[in-house]
Amino acid sequence: MAGNTGALPWSTQEWPELVARETAHIKRGQRYVRGLFAGGTFCYQAQQILQDAGLVVHSNVPLPGNVRLDDANHSVAHTLVDMGSDEFTQGRPHPMIDSSLRRERILAEAQDPEVAILLLDFILGYNAAPDPAGELAEAIGKARALAVQRGRYLSIIASVCGTEGDPQDLARQCRVLMEAGAIVLPSSAQAARLCATLAASLQEATDGQPSG
């Protein structure tokens, strides 16, 4: 299975090449990870992985040691948001079913000049949307194009939780995301670890730059 940006499965042995490729495109001043999650458990997992990598994470559902967002609709530095939490789902469907809020947030995050990486999860199954990847593919493509128009680069890292037996077709969901320009990892944990590695690499590059 191949795509414009990445292919499954990525092995950890390939990560140095992948990290070098992505960071080579990311511009000076871009350094932050923004995670927009449909699955609360995956948001907690990603927080822990980034925290273990030495990154301070902001969230609307922070783990101990992380920082609570003052406004869940406004990201700060490294931010991981559970978009299935109460403030996003009161009076509207869960993001596993309705991707409209995530679609809007992807485009909003792409406008932040300090954002380098978007982390997204996709959940398959009979209680999920019939085509979760398809619902966000256009927004992913637009976000990447917006970054390019503004002289930047946006690395989009995704994972799909599901099996070939799910009605959405796991292989097709991965293919749609890769065709939109996302790097798709075999698990949410691997996706979060790649984001942590990319962010650490960008931080090292920033620390190594001479000051004004």
CB count in 10 Å sphere of residue 168: 21
pLDDT at res. 203: 83
pLDDT at res. 14: 75
pLDDT at res. 146: 96
| Residue 189 DSSP code | H
Q: Give dist(CA 9, CA 53) in Å, integer.
A: 23
CATH superfamily of 30-202: Succinyl-CoA synthetase domains (3.40.50.261)
pLDDT at res. 207: 62
Q: Give dist(CA 64, CA 46) in Å, integer.
A: 13
Task: Report which of 172, 71, 176, 78 is spatially closest to residue 119, judged by C-alpha positions.
Answer: 78
Beta bridge partners of 183: 157
For residue range 168-192, what is the model confidence (pLDDT) as tens digits? Answer: 999 999 999 999 999 999 899 999 9
For residue range 27-55, what is the model confidence (pLDDT) as tens digits? Answer: 999 999 999 999 999 999 999 999 999 99
pLDDT at 10 over 70: no
Q: Give dist(CA 25, CA 152) in Å, integer.
A: 8
> Per the structure block, which two tokens stand in for 180?
């939109």
Mean residue pLDDT of the chain comes to: 90
More confident residue, 132 or 14: 132
Give ∠ CA 86-90-95 in degrees, rounded to 5. Answer: 75
pLDDT at res. 12: 63
Q: Give dist(CA 44, CA 39) in Å, integer.
A: 9
